Amino acid sequence: MPTTGGGHKPEPELDRLSNILKNFNESFGTLFADTDRVAKRIRDDIAPKVAADKAFQNAKDNTPHTARMAHDQALGKVMQILLKDDTQVYKQFVENESFRRAVGDMVYALTTG
């Protein structure tokens, strides 16, 4: 048996998350002074709250379209709560369609993967 590493594949989830965060930073890095903080907030605060939403959890068992609609509703609720904590992110979410779509896609990928 060889004792040297045979090159195992990186965790697909971590690779996918890295790509999501990289794309987010490339697209929206100029909107915020600390894009890493915003991406971390999305990953560590927003996505888990959306994933915990009961309606979204139930909808994931249905069609992808139904799951996405429930996800978007849950994300809207979570973002309303965020208004008190991070008005800059909330403002971009409400006023910037491409940011809202990117956050939605990022959170959806994190919560359905």
pTM: 0.77
User: Averaged over 77-89, what is the pLDDT?
Assistant: 88
Q: Alpha-carbon distance 54 to 48, whole Å?
A: 12
Q: Alpha-carbon distance 53 to 71, whole Å?
A: 8
Q: 33-74: per-residue pLDDT in tens? A: 888 888 888 889 999 999 999 999 999 988 899 999 999 999
pLDDT at 52: 96
Question: Could you tell me the pLDDT band of residue 13, with boundaries at 50, 70 and 90?
Answer: low
Domain ranges of the chain: 12-24+34-112
Q: Alpha-carbon distance 72 to 49, whole Å?
A: 12
Q: Which two tokens stand for residue 63?
A: 């069609």
